[in-house]
Amino acid sequence: MSGSPAVRSGVSGVSGVSGVSGVSAAALFLLGGAALAGSAAVCVRVGSGDVGYADLAAALGRRLGLAAEPLPPLIDSLVWDLRLPRVLLAALVGASLAVCGAALQAVTRNSLADPYLLGVSSGASAGAVAVAVLSVGAGSVGLAGGAFAGALVSFGLLMLLLRRTGLDSSRIVLTGVVVGQLFTALTSLVLMTSGDADTTRAITHWLLGSMASARWDAVAACAVAGAVGAVVVQACAPALDGFSFGADTAASLGVDVRATRLVLLVTTALLTSTAVASVGAIGFVGLIVPHGVRFLVGPLHRVLLPFTALVGAIFLMWADTLARVAFSPQEVPVGVFTALLGVPLFLLVLRRRGEL
C-alpha cells in the first residue's frame, strides 16, 4: 500500500457499503425511507396557512376510511388537493430524474449525462409552445399533453436517426444534442414570431420547472411511470456495471449490449417525458444526485439505483418546499433551487473524491 491511507480509507471506506454487506445497505435504505416519510410530512406542513401534523393525519385518515374528526373544508382542501399531491409529485419526479441520470451516465459512460441528454425536454417545450401559442389541438390537449407529445416526437426522431446503429455512447450523446438543438430552435422561433409577452413569460416559467400546478392525475401518471421505470432499470443493474469497461467487455460478460441500451433509452425517455410533461424541465437533479449517491454507497448499480431514487425524491421535495416558502408569497421556479442547493453539494462531493 502506498499513497495516503487516510484519504483512501475516506473514499473506499465510505463506498464500502456497496459490496461488503447487504445488511448495512438494507439498514441504510430503511433509514432513508424513514427520512423520506418524515420529510414528506414536514414539507406538507410548511407554508402559508396553519397546517399541523394532526391535520395531515386527519386528511389521510378520512381517505383511508378511518373514523377521523372531519376537518374544516378549507384546511382539508389545502392539505389534500394542494400540498400532498405537490409533495408526492416532487418526490416521484425527483426519484425518476435521478434514476434516469444514473442509468444514462452508465449507458453513455459520460459523467455529464443527465435525463435531458436525449433531447426530450426540448421536444417537450416545443410541444408545450405548439399548444400554448399555436393552439395546436384546439384546446383538446393541455400544456402537459402537448409537452408529452412533443417529447415523444423528439425521441422518435432520435431513434429514427439512431436506427441501424449499434447505439454506441458517443453517437447517442451527439444525436441527442442535435435533436435537442433542433427543438429548442423551433421553440424559440414560435415564441419570437407568434408569442405575446405573457405567453413567453409563462412558457419560460414552465421551462424552469414548477410543481405549483401539481394535481393527483399527474401524481398517478408519474407513480405508474416511475414504478415501471424503476423495475426495468433495476433489472439492468448488472449490465450497467458491465458497461464500466466499454461495450466489448460488457458483451463478453454476457450483456446483450444493443438490446440493453435500447431498453434503457426507451425507458428513461418515457420516464423523463412523463416528468417533464407534469412539471417542466427541472434541471440538475438527474445530474448531481447520482454522483452524490455514488460517493455514499459506491458505484455498483444494484445498490446505487434504489438509493439514487430515494435521495432524488428527498432532494426535490425539499428544493420545492424552499421554492414555495423562501420568498413567499412570491414563488421561485424550483429549478433555481435545485441548482442553488445542488452546486455546493456537488462541489463538496467532487472535492472529497479528490477530483477538484
Partner 1 sequence: MRITVENLSWSVPGGDIVRNVDLEIGSGETVGLIGPNGSGKSSLLRCVAGVRTASAGTVRYDGRDIRGWSARRIARHTAFVEQATESETDLRLGDVVALGRMPFRSRWRGPDRADRAIVDAALARLGLTGLRTRGWRTLSGGERQRAHIARALAQQPRCILLDEPTNHLDVRHQYELMDLLAGTEQTVLVALHDLSLAARYCDRLVLMHRGSLVASGPPRAVLTPGRLRDVFGIDAETGHDGLGNLTVACRGVARDPA
Q: Which is nearer to partner 1, 3 or 70 (by Cβ)?
A: 3
253 binds partner 1 (CB under 8 A): yes
242 binds partner 1 (CB under 8 A): yes
CA distance 207 to 283: 10
| Cell numbers describing residue 112 | 455529464
Q: Is the Cβ–Cβ distance between 95 and 227 less than 8 Å?
A: no
Chain CA centroid to CA 196, Å: 31
Quickly list DSSP for 89-155: HHHHHHHHHHHHHHHHHHHHT-TT--GGGGSHHHHHHHHHHHHHTT-TTTTSS-HHHHHHHHHHHHH
249 binds partner 1 (CB under 8 A): yes
Contact code string over 212-241 relative to partner 1, x by CB under 8 A = ----------------------xxxxxx-x
Least distance CB 16 / partner 1 (angstroms): 7
111 binds partner 1 (CB under 8 A): yes
294 binds partner 1 (CB under 8 A): yes
Of the listed pieces 172-180, 255-263, 309-317, 322-330, which binds partner 1 according to CB under 8 A? 255-263
Contact with partner 1 (CB under 8 A) among 251, 262, 263, 350: 251
Of the listed pieces 4-12, 40-48, 196-204, 308-316, which binds partner 1 according to CB under 8 A? 4-12
3-class DSSP state for residue 26?
A: helix
Q: Is the Cβ–Cβ distance between 272 and 150 less than 8 Å?
A: no
Residues in contact with partner 1, total (CB under 8 A)? 39
112 binds partner 1 (CB under 8 A): no
CA distance 268 to 263: 9
Least distance CB 301 / partner 1 (angstroms): 10
Other C-beta atoms closer than 10 Å to the C-beta of 135 total: 10
177 binds partner 1 (CB under 8 A): no
Q: Which is nearer to partner 1, 38 or 166 (by Cβ)?
A: 166
23 binds partner 1 (CB under 8 A): no
Contact code string over 127-166 relative to partner 1, x by CB under 8 A = ----------------------------------------
CA distance 13 to 342: 24
Which residue type, as a one-letter code, is found at position 147? A
11 binds partner 1 (CB under 8 A): yes
Of the listed pieces 16-24, 31-39, 130-138, 272-280, which binds partner 1 according to CB under 8 A? 16-24
| Cell numbers describing residue 204 | 419560460
CA distance 32 to 307: 8
248 binds partner 1 (CB under 8 A): yes
Q: Is 180 exposed, middle or buried (0-12, 13-18, 19+ CB in 10 A)?
A: buried
Fill in the DSSP letter of residue 284. S
Q: Which is nearer to partner 1, 17 or 36 (by Cβ)?
A: 17
Q: Is the Cβ–Cβ distance between 297 and 17 less than 8 Å?
A: yes
Of the listed pieces 72-80, 172-180, 253-261, 337-345, which binds partner 1 according to CB under 8 A? 253-261
Other C-beta atoms closer than 10 Å to the C-beta of 315 total: 27
Contact with partner 1 (CB under 8 A) among 92, 300, 317, 334: 300
Q: Point out which residues bind partner 1 (CB under 8 A).
A: 1, 3, 8, 11-12, 15-16, 18-19, 22, 109, 111, 234-239, 241-242, 244-249, 251-257, 294, 298-300, 302, 353
